[in-house]
Each structure stands twice: as structure tokens, then as C-alpha cells.
Amino acid sequence: VPELPEVEAVCRRLHEWAAGRTIVAARFTRPQTTRPTSPRTFARRLAGRQIDRVHRRAKNVLLALTGDLTLRIHLRMTGNLWVDDPANRPSTARAWFTLDDGREIVFDDPRLLGRMEILDAGRASALDQELGLEPLSDAFTPAWLAERAQRSRKPAKVFLLDQSIVVGLGNIWAAEALFAARVAPAAPANSLKPRQIRHLHAAIQEILARAVKSAYEQYRAPGQTLESEGYGVAVYNREGLPCLRCRTAIARVAQAGRSTYFCPRCQR
Ligand SMILES: [Zn+2]
């Protein structure tokens, strides 16, 4: 499942590969990709527009186009995007956008779960407003995190996964950040001490920045698979294995329907 680091890597690579190019045609193999808009209408709105910039908001890939339109692509479970020669298009491609240099942006989506939407300026701004804060943005400060934590009785792990607060911090990175900051995943957010908040904030930014760098380096070649779990995690998926700090066995509990991995000794 692509998480924030993988989506960020896709956006950066797509920007390198396609910014400045013009979409001359768009094709879709399935109507559900663009629903409720028909593929034909969708293609007509895209044709002739230049791609100014490719960037990420939460787990959305956003292509800023001339004429104040934004193409929003959500990769969901298995979706992937890259630029390549049409001859290399895979059979699981659900859409492709022909560029003015003859290459194409391929939207590969074996499980048919990805979705696309064209946003006008108003919709793009509304989407931005309704999403939580970006953890890698300058607005995400220890003071901001402390203020939001103060207002929540949720367990720290559940608080971190709340997309209306901070976006894109998935199950893996939330567990890793709590471990790095030595915060118990079950501790209520409003019980965290200023020092714990500072450590948690620093851990979130460090861990995500490292994961983005790693995902970006892995995603050199068009269509390369995106893997979240190969970055040398310290605690995630390590139930029963020794804690890397204190050798205590890593424990697993369910929180809000998701597995949380933590060290019962270091994180309390
Ligand atoms: Zn430990």
C-alpha cells in the first residue's frame, strides 16, 4: 500500500519526468477510474493542457494544469504512475496521457481501485482545507502538535493516525515515531509531557524524511514497484523479536482495528 513516502516519491519523479509537457490526449480503459465523469468528458477537459507542477497533498497525487485545473489521482492499494514510451505500457494500465514529446504518463492499477478527478480552483482549495496538516511542512511545529494533543484524549497512536489532524502518517510510521520518541502508544494524547511532544515531533519529521528519501531513490525507474516495508523499520512487524534498544520482546496490540507494535519497556 503506498503510504506518504511512496506517494511523495511518485510525485517528485513525475514532476521531473513530466512538468512542462502538454497532455495531447488521454485514454481510459475503465469508466470507474473517472466516475462520475465519463472518460470521454474527462479526456476532453485534459487535452491541450500543460502540466505546470506535480505535487502531493496527503496521499493524493496532484497535477497542476494550465487553466487553473488540477488532476487529482488517488493510487489506493496498488496504483502506480510513471512516464515511459507507449511500447512499454503494461496490460494493467487503466489510463494513459499522451505527452507532446511522444511519451506517456501511465496509470497502472492492477486492482482497479485508483480514482481520478479534475478539480477546478474552488474544489482544489476546498480539498486542501478539509485535509489535516502535512507533517513535513513548516507549519507542523512542536507547539502546534502540543496544542492539538492537549485537545485529544485519544491514545497517542490513534491520535497520530487521525487524518483530520496530521495527514499521511500511516500505521508503520506512527509506530516507528512512537518507538523513537519512547512514547507508549496507549498513552492519552493530552497526557503527553512537553518533552515527549518535542521528541515525537522530531521523530515524525526525521522518520518521514528518511522514508521519503529512500522511496525516492528506490523509484528511479518507471514502473518500479513501491514497497513500504523494506526500509529497515525498528519496531513495526517485529512482534516477539528483541527491542533494538533494550532487548525486551516487542509486543503487539490492536488499536482502532490496526496492529500496534511497541516495546513495553522503553515506551511508557
Ligand atoms: Zn525497548
Q: What is the mean pLDDT of each run of 10 residues along the chain (268 residues)?
A: 88 96 97 95 97 96 98 91 95 96 95 94 95 95 97 97 90 95 98 97 94 87 62 89 97 96 96
CB atoms under 10 Å from CB of 226, counted, come to 19
Question: DSSP character for 17?
Answer: H
As a whole number of Å, the CA-based R_g of the chain is 20
158-191 in b/e form (b: 16+ CB < 10 A) is bbbbbeebbbbbbbbbbbbbbbbbbbbbbbebee
- Sheet (strand 104-108) strand order: 23-28, 93-99, 104-108, 80-84
* Cα separation, 217 vs 230, whole angstroms: 13
How far is ligand 1, taken at its centre, from the CA of residue 264, in Å? 7
- Judged by DSSP in three states, 213 sits in helix
Query: pLDDT at position 134, please?
Result: 97
Apex 136 CA angle, 133 and 137, nearest 5: 60
How far is ligand 1, taken at its centre, from the CA of residue 249, in Å? 8
How far is ligand 1, taken at its centre, from the CA of residue 158, in Å? 21
What residues contact 65, with CB distance under 8 A and at least 6 apart? 23, 46, 49, 50, 51, 52, 71
How far is ligand 1, taken at its centre, from the CA of residue 243, in Å? 5
How far is ligand 1, taken at its centre, from the CA of residue 237, in Å? 15
What residues contact 232, with CB distance under 8 A and at least 6 apart? none
Which active-site residues does the annotation give?
2-3, 59, 258
